[in-house]
Amino acid sequence: MTDDAAQPPSEMTADLETITSLAKRRGFIFPSAEIYGGFAAAYDYGPLGVEMKRNIRESWWRSMVQERDDVVGIEAAIITNPNVWVASGHVSEFTDPLVECSSCQGRFRADHIEDGRCPTCGNTGTLSQPRRFNMMLSTIVGPVADESGRAFLRPETAQGMFVNFENVQTTMRRRLPFGIAQVGKSFRNEITVKQFIFRTREFEQMEMEFFCHPDSSLEWHTYWKKERLRWYYSLGIRPQHLRLRDHRADELSHYSKATSDIEVHFPWGWGEMEGIAHRGDFDLTQHSNHSGKRLTYFDPDTNEHVVPHVVEPAAGVDRILLTLLLDAYAEEEVKGEKRVVLRLAPSVAPVTVAILPLSRNEKLDPTARRVHSILRPHFRTQWDDAQSIGRRYRRQDEVGTPLCVTVDFETIDDDAVTIRERDSMEQTRVPISGLVAALRERLDALAPVVPDIDEISV
């Protein structure tokens, strides 16, 4: 399923421009502070985007924490003791080689330069020698604006788990193997920012550090590759748009013994959505050396202290959201007209059921409101009564709403409504008394079929 040679990827229907435009037009994602001309690589999530992000996070949290016995969650500070970043290696190693153009003052990643030519002004012979540029964003903490207050905005959530290893292990009385998970914002002063929300300076990560005995760490690495792929299938992403790729030795991060990426076939080529790294004992050893605190695990069976090894599945919420939009997008011809539809799985769709009163009308309104109040506790609903019913169906298709419920004048007499399905466009009359069950059944039928972990080969 993951071997791209065996299964060539089908092209995504949408290009990035189409998705960027839909995201803005329909209230998913706006350029940040657009009224001031925006801000490079910063985006604001609108009402539908924010719902989708919540769905992604909640699905991840359910599968990584709540449905498991061996993982617990934390929320660590974004700005913490700067020594954390010295110990983690980010102060010395988290750098990109940059060149500067003496003609236009542009800065570029040295490995992105072709023919010694400046990518902006096109001059040759104006680029400096590469210099190391640290990608952490920093700030000054406290009332005195000098270097003594220098602190960093975390470039990954992972270190929060390492520095809390002992707190969590002892308070939760954990035995190996166990994991600590966290979802939250991370910040990097990325130099090359393009491709919409694929690479931004402020983004959200979902990371889990799985602490295990060194003898079983390779097995756990394989397990997490499969389990994480399974989760992406559960979001409905087409398997042919996903692949697993092992890093070459020269690509590995400073902490990693082995890393595999779950990659997506984006319109511009394969790109990372999640890294699954074998971090060995690097982080606990580093923090132990720098803090002077022993960060080991006492194995009661063998009476030995071991430094656990760590397997880390690390994903980005924003990249997953972009992938879902690209993968779900389809254009079709219906009765001679173009229909745009996002075939999102119900678990991630911003709205699962839209309530559409046939018209804005005093007689219809109380019945339609009653239907909405019946459905609201069970589904992510949206009330939509503007424009013709046909246009409203198209609008809901374009934002991926799986089901619409139309309340018409007959409803007042027969206490029944029409369910209209996004994918088949089929319409069925259903009594209000059985509406919740009928909708639930249809949403369940739309949920992706997820293979068993043993059926996934990596």
- HSE-CB at 221 with a 13 A cutoff on CA atoms is 23
Q: How far is the CB of 182 from ligand GAP (least distance, A)?
A: 10
Element (H, E) at 233: helix 217-234
Name the residue nearer to ligand GAP (CB basis): 123 or 256: 256
- Cis bond before residue 177 (omega within 30° of 0): yes
Q: How far is the CB of 232 from ligand GAP (least distance, A)?
A: 12
Q: Which of 411, 402, 410 is nearest to 382 (CA)?
A: 402
Name the residue nearer to ligand GAP (CB basis): 90 or 442: 90
Q: How far is the CB of 75 from ligand GAP (least distance, A)?
A: 16
Name the residue nearer to ligand GAP (CB basis): 260 or 367: 260
Query: Helix, strand, or coil here: 245?
Result: strand
Name the residue nearer to ligand GAP (CB basis): 205 or 406: 205
Name the residue nearer to ligand GAP (CB basis): 71 or 127: 71
Cα 328-332-336 angle, rounded to 5 deg? 160
Q: How far is the CB of 322 from ligand GAP (least distance, A)?
A: 9
Name the residue nearer to ligand GAP (CB basis): 160 or 236: 160
> From edge to edge, which strands make up the β-sheet containing 242-246?
71-73, 178-187, 202-212, 309-316, 269-280, 258-266, 242-246
Name the residue nearer to ligand GAP (CB basis): 315 or 351: 315
The residue nearest ligand GAP at its CB is 316
Q: How far is the CB of 139 from ligand GAP (least distance, A)?
A: 18
Q: Residue 215, Cβ neighbours under 10 Å: how many?
A: 9
Name the residue nearer to ligand GAP (CB basis): 319 or 392: 319
Q: How far is the CB of 258 from ligand GAP (least distance, A)?
A: 14
What sign results for the dihedral spanned by CA atoms 71, 75, 78, 84? negative
Answer whether 207's CB lies under 8 Å from 314's CB. Answer: yes
Binding site for ligand GAP (CB under 6 A): 156, 158, 188, 190, 199-200, 203, 205, 207, 272-275, 312, 314-316, 318-319
- HSE-CB at 105 with a 13 A cutoff on CA atoms is 0
Q: How far is the CB of 52 from ligand GAP (least distance, A)?
A: 15
Residues with Cβ within 8 Å of 244's Cβ and at least 6 positions away in sequence, in order, are 2, 225, 229, 260, 261, 262, 263, 458
Q: How far is the CB of 276 from ligand GAP (least distance, A)?
A: 9
Distances from the Cα of 65 to the Cαs of 173, 218, 308, in angstroms? 16, 21, 20
